[in-house]
Structure 1
């Protein structure tokens, strides 16, 4: 499992998705009026993530593996509302690789939590599909209890 944190200042793609969803650049992202728009922006981020993986795998897999995406679902991640997403690479009727992720945004930081069963990944993965499937229910239960957003330290 991996947890990535990305400041919005370093993510032009996210800033554009927020603007495209109708959230002004200087908005208070925690304002409830922006909640559904925030989910639209995160869904667009997930859609781009899926497209990147699909394009990345195409040269190696050709038509032998089919990309199957799960529709993102709204979940609680700590004190944040985010999305759970995932996809599988199917070879005939068996799973060749499977990825599971969570994404949330607190107004300044994008939180991305991922894990997988994937021979091509170097980190954050399980060696077998069975191990990922055993871990998945625990991960689902952990998400609401995470300490997110990360507390900001006062400036000194």
Structure 2
């Protein structure tokens, strides 16, 4: 009887051990160790913008310059429209140039038409008749400026417009002085204006402490006659470089 009992137990073990092995062993053998995937953080760097150097128009215009002994006249670095004036290496003032397309200036267009050279007319700068007409138009433009100035300023005296040469172009020199109630000079402006057929060139400087131009009247007074010579020798009209075929 005991032998039959042992035989039954052996049969049962033979049946169930393979089944248990199939069920439990995969849980221990099929699981492979996993290696964590490292996270790669992308770092983006903003592109560096190249430094754009400002071209100063005086580099094209400036020609012969005559200044007092120890003074210098050079285009201001990183300033597109300013000419820097120094005495013994120390800045004393600036001259500014404005370039204004006449197609955007209806008032000056009217003065050109009234003078007999409407916008778009052929330029004849060597023709005395053309020079006279252009000077008339420029003087009318200055007269408009003086009229506006009188409405907005007190104690102002204007200078009579004077025909001058600016490079090879006819031009006009003009300006004004403003006095304090005590009769002292508060501000003084000198300007030159010309026209090359498409654009107005307005060259100006001043004794005006608040403008960053000349802050001392004696420096301004000493420089005035040299400004006239600088304007007369400018490279105007600007010669366009020939286009390559």
TM bracket, shorter-chain basis = 0.7 to 0.9
Q: How far apart, in 1, do the equivalents of 2:149 and 2:222 lie?
A: 24
| Counterpart mapping for 1:1-156 below 5 A | 1-30=95-124, 32=127, 33-57=129-153, 65-91=154-180, 92-120=182-210, 122-123=211-212, 125-154=213-242
Q: How far apart, in 2, do the equivalents of 1:8 and 1:68 lie?
A: 28
Structure 1 or 2: more strand by fraction:
1
- Choose between structure 1 and 2 for higher RCO, CA contacts under 8 A separated by at least 6 residues: 1
Q: State the 1:51 CA deviation.
A: 2.2
Aligned partners of 2:119 and 2:197 also within 8 Å: no
TM-aligned CA distance change 1:118 to 1:55, over 3 Å = farther
Q: How far apart, in 2, do the equivalents of 1:36 and 1:133 lie?
A: 30
Q: How far apart, in 1, do the equivalents of 2:232 and 2:187 lie?
A: 26
Q: Which segments of 5 or more consecutive residues in structure 2 lack a partner in the other structure?
A: 1-94
TM-score w.r.t. length of structure 1:
0.84
Select the structure of larger CA radius of gyration. Answer: 2
Q: How far apart, in 1, do the equivalents of 2:114 and 2:242 lie?
A: 32
Count of aligned residue pairs for this structure pair: 147
TM-score w.r.t. length of structure 2:
0.55
Q: Which segments of 5 or more consecutive residues in structure 1 lack a partner in the other structure?
A: 58-64
